[in-house]
Chains A and B, each alone.
Chain A
Amino acid sequence: MSEPSQVKQRPLSPHLQVYRLPMTAKMSISHRITGVILTAGLVLLAIWVIAAGLGEDRYNQVMELIDTPYTKYIFVVWAFVLFYHMGNGFRHVLWDIGFGLNEKSAQRTGTLVLLFAAVMTYGVWQLSCGCYKGWFIKAAPMTEEVRAQQGAG
């Protein structure tokens, strides 16, 4: 009866371009993507340390490149990526132990990971972007001073 329409609309096996990924799958691929981003961050950290090892002139050159008004925002984004990868990595270790291996738990722990990353990023944001007036008040003005000195000299 309905054969002609079935022939026309053959069922497709789900593949990436037609399949709406559930949250758990999106989080799974995000783990890899954040891992690659963190690798880039690691290279940046390495450049910072190696520049210091090469001496003051080289260090100042590199810092001039790195130290932009946007650096602290990049730092906050990097922190989110980092804490996401950390939280999701912890989730992976829990799965390896045998904990939370069903759909409901995966959803719940996934939400917890996103919450953890968001809270930690909010903390880093508050600390590094000057909204927080606490223990680190000494560190915050130093940035402005150094920047002013660099601008003058």
Chain B
Amino acid sequence: MVKSNNSIQSDLGKAKGLGSAHTGTHHWLMQRVTAVASVPLVFWVVYSIFKLQGADYAAFTTWLASPVNAVLSILFVLNSFYHAMLGNQVIIEDYISCRWFRMTKLIGMKLFFIALGVACIFSILKISFAGGM
């Protein structure tokens, strides 16, 4: 049996897939990058929600159809959904010890965010290209 020289991991450990997945740093880094990127977007979103409270359909779609608002909305959706997905992933991994439930929850959570994000972006583009009304 050929054993890698630069690893102290046992063969059984390797076969069971234990140890680092070598993707943790990317997760950590992306969480920070999306966090920093969310700062200006969040200020814009809070201001926008404040301005749009009680807006009717015409007011809301006209607002969303403007290129600046549409682009910032899509950026906010991509950035915050990604950030939320990473954050929820850590919480699930930390608090759910039952393996099959943890896996199911992780995959379900990620698919949920992807589906919701795609639906949001589709809505924004539809309203934007339809020109408001």
Contacts and interface: CB of A to CB of B under 8 A. Distances in A.
B46 A79 contact: yes
Given A52-B60, A52-B123, A53-B122, A35 B91 contact: yes
Interface stretch (A2-10, A39-47, A99-107): A39-47
Given A32-B87, A39-B84, 7 more contacts: A35-B88, A39-B88, A59-B60, A71-B53, A82-B46, A139-B53, A146-B55
A99 to B, nearest CB: 14
B91 A32 contact: yes
A147 B54 contact: yes
Interface string B44-80: 0110011101111100110010000000010001001
Contact of B57 (A49, A52, A79, A92): A52
B73 A49 contact: yes
19 contacts: A32-B87, A32-B91, A35-B84, A35-B91, A42-B80, A42-B81, A46-B116, A50-B120, A52-B57, A52-B61, A56-B57, A59-B60, A71-B53, A82-B42, A93-B36, A124-B46, A124-B50, A128-B53, A136-B50
Interface residues of B, number: 36
Interface of A: 32, 35-36, 38-39, 42-43, 45-46, 49-50, 52-54, 56, 59-60, 63, 67, 71-72, 75, 79, 82, 86, 89-90, 92-93, 96, 124, 127-128, 136, 139, 142-144, 146-147
B27 interface: no
B119 interface: yes
Contact of B124 (A53, A59, A67, A82): A53
B35 interface: yes
Instruction: List 3 tightest A-B contacts by C-beta distance, closest first.
Output: A53-B123, A143-B54, A56-B57
If over half of A's interface residues share one DSSP class (helix, strand or loop), that class is named, otherwise mixed; here it is helix
A142 B120 contact: no
Nearest to A35: B87
A39 B90 CA distance: 14
Contacts of A45: 45, 49
Contacts of B51: 136, 139
Contact of A128 (B50, B116, B126): B50
Contacts of B54: 67, 142-144, 146-147
Contacts of A35: 84, 87-88, 91
Nearest to B60: A52
A67 B56 CA distance: 11
